[in-house]
């Protein structure tokens, strides 16, 4: 267990060093796709979001079958090719491996992070959702690259959570972990400026981009609210 913690810290450190060398923050504006949108809409949204400046894309599929997930992930990967924007797969290690994604994001009920790291290797991005203070305290001992702090505020897509972190929770999290933190849940145009002021590393959004009439303009507007 002690050796696994050492390896986990080394992997996360190597990833952060790679980002520092390239002066990158891929977490800043993190698009999570909407699995209710059809394939053509998904492709349109991602194309426009990339044009608008989104910095990371996670393909999230909770209701479709594996083949459909792979098809959608491959479509997004083709769009991201050459953009420098990482492709992250939600939950499914097999899909991440099948499409050779840049990374994987796990929930607390998914495969343990240590096992996922063994499967995807040391060079892929690995994120983990954090929903409680105990999970937060354990995060630095895991072989992960960033945490998804969930949920920041109440949201219709995350109805089973006991905790909403809010602004004070973000500050506590920043003081607790050395890992980059991405906030998700209930984030919109009205609270982005104050969230950015906390020093959080990134914000993940679904509907603000996916459901916008003009996803490119929406992305640009969000970045403007974040001080870009």
Among the listed residues 206, 168, 200, 172, the one whose alpha carbon sits nearest the alpha carbon of residue 187: 206
Tokens 């897509």 belong to which residue?
157
Phi/psi at 113 (5° precision): -60, -40
Binding residues: 58-62, 90-91, 110, 129, 155-158, 186, 206-207
- Contact at 8 Å (CB) between 137 and 176? yes
The pTM of the full predicted model, rounded to 2 decimals, is 0.89
pLDDT digits (tens, 9 = 90+) for 3-50: 544 544 454 445 545 454 445 799 999 999 999 999 999 999 999 999
Binding residues for Mg(2+): 91, 110
User: pLDDT category, 222, cuts 50, 70, 90?
Assistant: very high
pLDDT score at 12: 47
- Could you tell me what percent of the chain has a pLDDT over 70? 87
pLDDT score at 183: 99
**Is residue 2 pLDDT above 60, yes or no?**
no
DSSP letters along 3-23, please?
A: HHHHHHHHHHHHHHHHHHHTT
pLDDT score at 10: 54
Here the tokens at position 170 are 């973000």
Here the tokens at position 39 are 């394939």
* Average confidence score pLDDT of the chain: 91
pLDDT score at 11: 46
Phi/psi at 93 (5° precision): -60, -40
Tokens 């800043």 belong to which residue?
28
Is 2-225 in CATH node 3.40.50.300? no
pLDDT digits (tens, 9 = 90+) for 127-172: 999 999 999 999 999 999 999 999 999 876 655 666 899 999 999 9
Cα gap 9→68, rounded to integer Å: 35
DSSP letters along 113-139, please?
A: HHHHHHHH-TTSEEEEEE-SHHHHHHG
- Catalytic residues, by residue number, are 60, 129, 158
Among the listed residues 148, 114, 126, the one whose alpha carbon sits nearest the alpha carbon of residue 5: 114
In the chain, which residue ranges form alpha helices assigned H by DSSP? 2-21, 39-52, 66-80, 93-99, 113-120, 133-138, 166-176, 192-197, 207-210, 215-225
Domain ranges of the chain: 2-225
């Amino acid at each position: 267990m002690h050796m696994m913690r050492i390896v986990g810290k080394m992997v996360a450190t190597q990833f952060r060093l790679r980002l520092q060398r390239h002066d990158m923050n891929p977490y800043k504006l993190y698009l999570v796709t909407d699995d209710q949108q059809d394939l053509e809409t998904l492709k349109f949204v991602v194309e426009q979001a990339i044009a608008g400046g989104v910095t990371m894309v996670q393909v999230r599929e909770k209701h479709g079958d594996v083949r459909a997930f792979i098809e959608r992930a491959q479509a997004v990967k083709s769009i991201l090719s050459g953009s420098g924007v990482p492709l992250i797969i939600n939950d499914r290690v097999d899909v991440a491996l099948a499409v050779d994604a840049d990374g994987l994001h796990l929930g607390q009920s998914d495969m343990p992070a240590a096992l996922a790291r063994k499967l995807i290797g040391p060079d892929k991005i690995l994120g983990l959702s954090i929903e409680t203070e105990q999970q937060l305290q354990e995060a630095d001992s895991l072989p992960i690259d960033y945490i998804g702090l969930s949920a920041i505020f109440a949201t219709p897509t995350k109805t089973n959570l006991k905790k909403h972190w809010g602004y004070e929770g973000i500050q506590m999290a920043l003081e607790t972990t050395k890992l980059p933190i991405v906030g998700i849940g209930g984030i919109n145009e009205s609270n982005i400026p104050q969230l950015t002021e906390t020093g959080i590393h990134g914000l993940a959004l679904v509907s603000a981009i996916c459901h916008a009439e003009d996803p490119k303009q929406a992305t640009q507007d969000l970045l403007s609210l974040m001080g870009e």
